[in-house]
Amino acid sequence: MKGVRGGILWGILATTALGLIPMYNVMGADGAVSRVALTSLNGIISVPPSIKDIAFQFTWSELTDAKGILDMIVVLFTFLFLDIFDTMGTVIGVSEKAGYVDKEGNVDGINECFMADSIGTICGAALGTSTTTTYVESAAGVADGGRTGLTAFSTAVFFAIALLFAPLFLAIPSAATAPALIVVGMMMMTPVLKIDWKDPVEALPAFITMVVMPFSFSISDGILIGMISYVLLNALCGNFKSITPTMWVLAILFVLRYIFI
């Protein structure tokens, strides 16, 4: 509110510092361990563990019959849709905040965004990590003035450095990062002003999308159910011109996903 550069980061650091004081134990049991670790140099600097036991450890033994192949295809397309719509929701939301969305709702450079996300997802999976994908926390960088790839590159460099100081950064409690995400969420709400709230056919799917996301802990589920409701409402109202063939196909696939997966 005061326009301080890096205000969100300063807030995280201030709350973490407060949590290190025993009488303000906002960290809970983990905080006590963190305080002990931070009293010595050995508790701050760490050597990243080896990934030889998880990197490139592919298992093909389940693909020897038709059932195994079918199961793989189901899982493959499930993760494909989840990743596509998670990325799409994040990219559009962050781009809207950055001013990279034109009057028609198109995002400048969205192909490059999806390419970067797909490469990251593939590399992360091959190295045995959890899903590597686009995160909505990027809006914090945009809010602080970041508009180019240099912002993302700088973040990547600092993440690499953080590997050497894992105990230090693991001492940051959720009580410090949760408020930052609340602020980011507030920043992401700006585009709702462009929704035509007087038209239920437009407003209801948008509302359903926004409500489902936090309750399901999934951006993709919000978009999937929002699209199903959009197609269904327009079909019931006879607005078939508003539904493209692609939307019909996706809506049917999404319904089948919730029925069979």
pLDDT exceeds 70 at position 42:
no
The amino acid at 247: M
Alpha carbons 108 and 94: distance in angstroms, whole number: 12
Residues pairing with 101 in the sheet: 107
Residue % of the chain over a pLDDT of 90? 10
Confidence at residue 236, expressed as pLDDT on a 0 to 100 scale: 93
Q: pLDDT value at position 22?
A: 63
Between 21 and 60, name the one with better pLDDT.
60
CA 63/CA 247 separation, integer angstroms: 32
Q: Label residue 244 exposed, middle or buried (CB < 10 Å: 0-12, 13-18, 19+).
A: exposed
Minimum mean pLDDT among 37-46, 110-119, 213-222: which range? 37-46
